[in-house]
Structure 1
């Protein structure tokens, strides 16, 4: 008997998820010639901080929830047995440290309800800020009631709706029709009782897009800028023929993370800075540009998958290191809190200044 279309789609998505995990962990799909530009944010050292390191307040409010530090474990995966272990280890680590945790795309869960367990983290992260995740095109095809059920099924506190047109152009069998996206977001803001976070997937959010979604009621954006993992690169590694050729051309497409944060920081939105953040220094630089929190994905995944000392303990140790870096650098700038970094003295490099001037 021939396989149904739904069964084929389920098989494709399962294989895709496994490929994504392996490629992101490998490090071979980083941006090649474009960085985050976070290295062009230089904070000024204060040799007289006049406070105890332990007195630094890293507490941050994000999406109405209080975090112990302005750090998000960004959404990565779901839908496979390996993804279940990853999600549970990372969510548990986020719970332990009082951080936020994002799930990967729940599209697999929509097509195969039996994969819901791979997204189930509430038993190990009962109080953490948990972010659900669905693609804009998939959200367009779903009713608001179905999306509410998707959020409730994992106990998410908010729903990230990811925008990924560049990635889809390269993905074998990827979406090509992105019409009506703003109307979809407006419907979700109106109909869902949980906050909507508009999220890119490695290409950044422009000022024009940020203003457009703000004007229809979105209050939070995850920039997911260029400079870290290239999701175009991820799909290029999986593609063949013309799609692979186009992927090679577009591998470095996108707005650098620092530029994306700086371009939208004054729009009154909560901004999550993701895309190539690798340590506490990167988080602090993003906060200095106006981000509410910094998110990390690939380095946390690699810590969890480390052949020795990985798993929950590996992820926890890495995230402790990140939080320690945020605390230490906040202290060394003379700031008493991570929130004060927004007004800390800074020097910006020429490429970042050009982006902030010319891309407005």
Structure 2
């Protein structure tokens, strides 16, 4: 079974008595980890108010194709692009007919034509309307075009009839929606990742830092999201945009990274320390800019907190993964770090190699972990950082079980 965690679901509600179930469907989608936005037809608003679905989804409900404010930014196109999945529930006989005809005379049908996302229709109508040849012809047309259907169910209907046409219960609609996506190896897991450098101030204009670009950590965040995880990314100063569907926490110093990391450990399943945290900081940062005067200046440095060791020593302990950027004795130094910090796995790479250094788009790595048979390892040849990130995430999922 697939997953809806981190998926963007656009729920379109049509006018029918079953529209009241859309409130439960919004909540169930959110419980499964999806972000939900809602479109309502004019008829749907006669059965349930937009305010109800706005309160449940946390987003304004969309209902007008000719909303001047929304269309100033081509709102219907943005909705179509935003969605990973469009669900129409309930899908009335009229809606199915208009979709089959390729109409674009309201917001629902226009977005349906404009989206590349898969569409799942959950029909709900009178049993005779469902059986009617016109509806069955529309069903065949829409199925041939690649639309998916959940239901309808059979049973007692609001009109007093008995037969097929009832809206499928929301949990069963969710199962159909899940089946449209591949299963994620970290579905439902909460992952915290650190990335980039830290900056330790000397004075208001100068600092001690390193060459970390953050590219590896950001690639890991994208890979974890794709694997179905909910991801918090704690990032030092980098020139990178926040990855899609990742909660970004920007920090500057090692102390700030430690505080952010410890603050996110509640319900954290996996912690990946990919950041290049400065080992030392100035003992006293000057309040004013240090003026150039003497030919030599001495700096007193003090050790920074070890973020990864503190996290790995936390109780309860998340599955803890570290990175070792080394310039020599790669395996030896990485293995020492794995054991010294009490990590579950470590990813070591040789930053002295300019082809896979800090600012490169590529990387190569040695993955090390320990099990009952002793130290195990896996070597990953040079590849893009996105490819390496996917390998690391898959290995973490395999070890964590």
Normalising by the residue count of structure 2, what TM-score does the alignment of the two structures yield? 0.27
**Structure showing the higher helix proportion among its residues:** 1
Q: Which has the higher contact order (CA 8 A, sep 6+)?
A: 1
**Structure showing the higher strand proportion among its residues:** 2
Normalising by the residue count of structure 1, what TM-score does the alignment of the two structures yield? 0.29
